[in-house]
Structure 1
Amino acid sequence: MQGTFADLTVKKMVPILALLLLCQGFLCTTVTSKKVCGRPPITDGIDETTLKRVFEVGDEVTLTCERGYLPSTTTSQRITCTATGEWTQSNLACSPKMCPIPRPLQPLAKGRTEAPFRSVLNFTCDDGYVMLGANESKCSHDGTWSNPPPLCKAVNCPLPKPPTEGRIVHDTPVTGNTIMYGQSWTYECNSPKAPTYERGSCKADGTATEPPLCQEVSCRIPAGIPNGFITFAVMRQHGYKEKVKYACNENYILDGDAEVQCQNTGNWSSKPVCRAPCTVGINRGRIFYNAKKLWIADLKPNRVLHREPVVFYCLNKAERCGYPVATTCNDGVLPIPECFEEPGKIEYTLRPKTLPSEIAMCAASPPASPASPANPARAA
């Protein structure tokens, strides 16, 4: 009996459990979720501190600009969460407030006259200057800068000390007990001695150059130069700051300082160079030289000095006109323009009026062609 009762009980419970499970499934599948809206889409400058993550249908939100931004419209912008889960449209745009850039700084700001909210100006001073004020300034929400531009004050140095056996000659007059960064001077020693270095200055770290030593210096007998000579000089050793003068042979041009000086290193300053003249390396044709139009046979002697220009005449074959091309003597070498064509002997002798130098000149010269390196005129 007990066993039979137990079996019956189980059989009756199975339909009841199945019914409960079916009911639970039915309830779960027939409940519909309610539409909601997420956080509204916002652009830069819109205040989002009061916005929730989720809003229900029908909720309204008033959009505003955060501090430091200006709204594009004077009317309030309310948006609504719709039944589709979307927000209504808003015309609000927020632009940052602008801070005027101080006029002295505008060139450094590439010509800009203002900067937007939250911009930062960083200030630095050149070497040898110290900053008085803040090294940065931020554009605030009210359109003003947090700090004014600082001042850059030149570093001061104590007066320099002269060498033991000499003196100091300042480039500019000095007053007081200090000098400013960048000021400089020359050290001089009592004759015949020379300073180990001649120049001093107030340095960026606020210290002045230490004084040099004074020592005896002499330079060797000065050497000659090619195609030149020393004028009015005794051939002996020379002391500090003594000078000799050079000149060039006839038709050679002096390039550099004519006078050289014995330096504190015991060496002479750079000697000049005598630059050679050139010959015009054509046999037939006409040139423009020394303000004259000349047949090459009339250039006597055939010599052009260093750095003097010579004009050749070339033919524009398309327009049948001539045009001038200039070249310059450079230390014995006078390049011939590539466009120049030396006429043949018969053409030069019998039909000289047909040469580029004699026909009508072109209204505009074609682009200059480089001088031919293969046909330079050699030194005279």
Structure 2
Amino acid sequence: MAPTWTLFLLFPIIACATVTSKKVCGPPPVTDGVDETTLKRVYEAGEEVALTCEQGYSPSTPTTQRITCLASGEWTQSDLACSLKMCPIPRPLQPLARGRTEAPFKSVLNYTCDDGYVMQGANESRCLHDGSWSNPPPLCKAVNCPLPTPPRDGRIVHDQPVTGTSTMYGQGWTYECNPPKAPSHERGSCRADGRATEPPVCREVSCSIPAGIPNGFITFAVMRQHGYKEKVKYGCNEHYVLDGEAEVQCQNTGTWSVRPVCRAPCKVGIKRGRIFYNARKLWISDLKPNRVLHREPVVFYCRNRAEKCGYPVASTCDDGTLDIPECFVEPGKVEYTLRASSLPSEITMCAASPPASTTSPAGPARPA
């Protein structure tokens, strides 16, 4: 009997399982100031996250904001906004802050003192997370100097009464020597480095015979050398104006203080026309003598042809020179004699003067 072979085919049984991909959420989107230290990189659908603000930031809502990771991989919306906390700027500093009254969290105030003042306190302050400053504003205390030493053969005259053994920065004094001596320097003060000015040397000083001035004279003075602080007085010839101090003094340097100058009068350089001078409106022929003094204003009249009106322009005498405004047109003989009523000085005055070239500061108010 022939053998029977039986073939067994073994087929592997493959179990097929259906896998459903489940979406996850990344870190939630946040705005500036939201605390990110507790956030994860990946969240499962359905997980919730409580959003809070960092230190130094204030939440826009009083309750905790919660957002949820959705099955779509997106987050629910959040209304949380975090704003910087503010620190009130100290009132004495507000003018320097250009009107601002608050500074945001992490701002830094840097303090300095003027020369001659020493700072007491911290030189900077930071706006903290709770809306306060890390340090109060410091105080700037004036530097003190020991009382100055008087000069040999002299004394000190303080500008303000002094008590104790020191004086404050900025306070000054005058050095005086016993006559006829003069101090090598007259003024002293408490300096920013905390030291008083060194005392001067007292020595004899004289000034040369005082010199005269053009168009002027020395009054009641003996023509001799003069000692320290002696004075002479100057005056000007008739119609000349004194410019500067009338009295000059012999200084501690052996020289005179600045002499004054006698300024010359001016002639009004027109032949025909009307002017306003010395509170009067007058024809140039009535200005007798034709002379105005230094620094005195003279008003001329110009014509606005477009508006058919006149307007005044001032010029000022300056040491013998009186410039005529460019807009002034001197009338001819016939116009001046027969049609004077049509001159710019006689017609209606303009409501407003147009820009005009002048050679001096604005003169007096427009005459009627």
Query: Partners of 2:164 and 2:333 in 1: how far apart?
Result: 82
Residues 156 and 178, structure 1, Cα contact 8 Å, conserved in 2? yes
Select between 246-255 and 76-85 the one with higher mean Cα deviation: 76-85
Instruction: Please point out which of 26, 44, 50 is paired with 2:38.
Output: 50
- How far has the Cα of 1:61 moved from its partner? 1.9
Other-structure match for 2:257: 269
Select between 160-169 and 320-329 the one with higher mean Cα deviation: 320-329
Match for 2:81: what amino acid?
Answer: A
- How far has the Cα of 1:56 moved from its partner? 4.2
Query: Partners of 1:233 and 1:40 in 2: how far apart?
Result: 98
Match for 1:228: what amino acid?
Answer: G
Other-structure match for 1:71: 59
Instruction: Please point out which of 189, 212, 216 is paired with 2:200.
Output: 212
**2:80 is the alignment partner of 1:92:** yes
Query: Partners of 1:313 and 1:345 in 2: how far apart?
Result: 17
Other-structure match for 1:352: 340
Residues 182 and 201, structure 1, Cα contact 8 Å, conserved in 2? yes
Show the 5 A alignment for 1:307-326: 307-326=295-314
Query: Partners of 2:184 and 2:40 in 1: how far apart?
Result: 79
Show the 5 A alignment for 1:92-171: 92-171=80-159
Other-structure match for 1:365: 353
Question: CA 1:34/1:268 → structure 2, altered by over 3 Å: closer, same or farther?
Answer: farther
Show the 5 A alignment for 1:278-293: 278-293=266-281
Other-structure match for 1:260: 248
Unaligned runs of 5+ in 2: 1-18, 361-368
- How far has the Cα of 1:230 moved from its partner? 1.2
Residues 22 and 71, structure 2, Cα contact 8 Å, conserved in 1? no
| Deviations 1:57-108 (CA, angstroms, capped at 9, x unpaired) | 4443221111221111123222233455443332211112222222222212
Query: Partners of 2:72 and 2:293 in 1: how far apart?
Result: 94
Residues 167 and 189, structure 1, Cα contact 8 Å, conserved in 2? yes
| Deviations 1:184-218 (CA, angstroms, capped at 9, x unpaired) | 00001111111111100011111111101111111
Query: Partners of 2:26 and 2:205 in 1: how far apart?
Result: 90
**2:328 is the alignment partner of 1:340:** yes
- How far has the Cα of 1:34 moved from its partner? 6.4
Unaligned runs of 5+ in 1: 1-30, 373-380
Residues 338 and 371, structure 1, Cα contact 8 Å, conserved in 2? no
**What SS class does the counterpart of residue 334 from structure 2 fall into?**
helix
Residues 313 and 358, structure 2, Cα contact 8 Å, conserved in 1? no
Query: Partners of 1:189 and 1:204 in 2: how far apart?
Result: 26
**What SS class does the counterpart of residue 167 from structure 1 fall into?**
strand
Other-structure match for 1:16: none
Match for 1:288: what amino acid?
Answer: F
Other-structure match for 1:202: 190
The percent identity for this pair of structures is 81
